């Protein structure tokens, strides 16, 4: 008997355009695909309709993701995905706006858009796929490349300090900040669901593997060894509170790092419009 019963693992195929672009453009073992499947399962679990989602991205490896989704997608200019997303959300507040962005896209080219989207607290879910390097253009050092790590533009080790995207977002005013890795796929699914349910700017940083450039230049091996490296290096947020800063050096703190309630930008704007028009 063929499997007439629909299984939960099959929902992945409902939300993608299978005849369009598959197999995907990413390298074998790239963590972006793991994020894509976790995002599909989170969307399906939350029950959002395909018409109610707008997915935006900039330029980069991770930003190729929306073209595989069977939702309204907008592939924008480099770094400006959050700027476009602000416009989409402002024009159509009923849409669930999801932004897929990479570390270079969000923090280097679109750094200003990133902090100002956090500051406004507009209801956007930003998913930042952090692979520590510019993978698409040949392995240049990005703002999140760790100190002393190697890339094609830092052949003797990176002398700069790196950004912590979660700390930056929380300081700039984002109201939901979480971090996870591609090894922790079930946790990622839950965190993405929480971030989409949150009203306000939510950032989920997913530490991903670029074994083609970062792993090769830093001798971290193939996809499997990098994913197992994330498993060893990650610390749950509850455990990390009991650890000293020296012990947390080089560790990846995973979980929901920051959540506060603040007024959302579209609500606040509507309140002002109603007050000026004398509706209340």
Cβ closer to another protein: 21 or 119? 21
CB of 214 to another protein, least distance (A): 16
CB of 184 to another protein, least distance (A): 10
Q: How far apart are CB 229 and another protein at their closest, in Å?
A: 13
- Would you say 115 or 210 has its CB closer to another protein? 210
Q: Closest Cα to residue 174, out of 234, 255, 257?
A: 257
Q: Which residues bind another protein (CB under 8 A)?
A: 1-3, 7-10, 12-13, 16, 22-24, 26-34, 36-38, 182-183, 185-186, 222-224, 227-228
Nearest CB to another protein, comparing residues 28 and 272 = 28
Least Å distance between CB 68 and another protein?
Answer: 9
Minimum CB distance to another protein smaller for 71 or for 118: 71
**What are the backbone angles phi and psi of residue 180, rounded to the nearest 5°?**
-150, 175
- Between 38 and 88, CB nearer to another protein: 38
Q: How far is the CB of 221 from another protein (least distance, A)?
A: 11
Q: Residue 157 CB, nearest distance to another protein (Å)? A: 29
DSSP for the chain, written as a single string: ----SPPGGGGGGGSB-HHHHPSPSSPTT-THHHHHHHHHHHHHHHT--GGGEEEEE-SSSGGGGGGGBSSEEEE-STT-HHHHHHHHHHH-TTSEEEEEEEHHIIIIITHHHHHHHHHHT-SEEEEEEE-SEETTTTSEE-TTPPTT---SS-TT---S----HHHHHHHHT-SEEEEEESS-HHHHHHHHHHHHHSSS-EEEEEE---IIIIIHHTT--SHHHHHHHHHHHEEEHHHHTTS-TTTTTT-EEEEEEEE-----HHHHHHHHHHHHTT--
Q: Which is nearer to another protein, 115 or 128 (CB)?
A: 128
């Amino acid at each position: 008997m063929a499997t007439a019963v629909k299984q939960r693992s099959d929902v992945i195929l409902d939300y993608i355009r299978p005849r369009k672009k598959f197999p995907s453009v990413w390298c074998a073992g790239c963590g972006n695909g793991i994020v894509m499947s976790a995002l599909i399962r989170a969307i399906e679990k939350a029950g959002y309709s395909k018409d109610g989602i707008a997915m935006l991205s900039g330029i980069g490896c991770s930003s190729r993701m929306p073209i595989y989704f069977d939702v309204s997608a907008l592939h924008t200019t480099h770094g400006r995905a959050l700027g476009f997303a602000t416009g989409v959300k402002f024009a159509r507040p009923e849409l669930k706006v999801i932004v897929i962005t990479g570390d270079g896209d969000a923090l280097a080219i679109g750094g200003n858009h990133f902090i100002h989207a956090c500051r406004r607290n507009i209801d956007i879910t930003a998913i930042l796929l952090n692979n520590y390097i510019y993978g698409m253009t040949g392995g240049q050092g990005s703002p999140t490349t760790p100190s002393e790590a190697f890339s094609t533009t830092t052949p003797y080790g990176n002398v700069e300090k790196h950004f912590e995207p979660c700390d930056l977002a929380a300081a700039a005013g984002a109201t939901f900040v979480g971090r996870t890795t591609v090894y922790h796929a079930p946790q990622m699914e839950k965190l993405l669901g929480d971030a989409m349910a949150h009203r306000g700017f939510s950032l989920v940083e997913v530490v991903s593997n670029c074994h083609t450039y970062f792993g090769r230049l830093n001798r971290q091996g193939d996809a499997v060894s990098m994913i197992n490296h994330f498993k060893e290096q990650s610390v749950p947020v509850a455990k990390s509170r009991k650890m000293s800063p020296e012990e947390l050096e080089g560790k990846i703190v995973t979980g929901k790092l920051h959540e506060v309630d603040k007024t959302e930008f579209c609500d606040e704007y509507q309140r002002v419009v109603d007050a000026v028009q004398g509706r209340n």
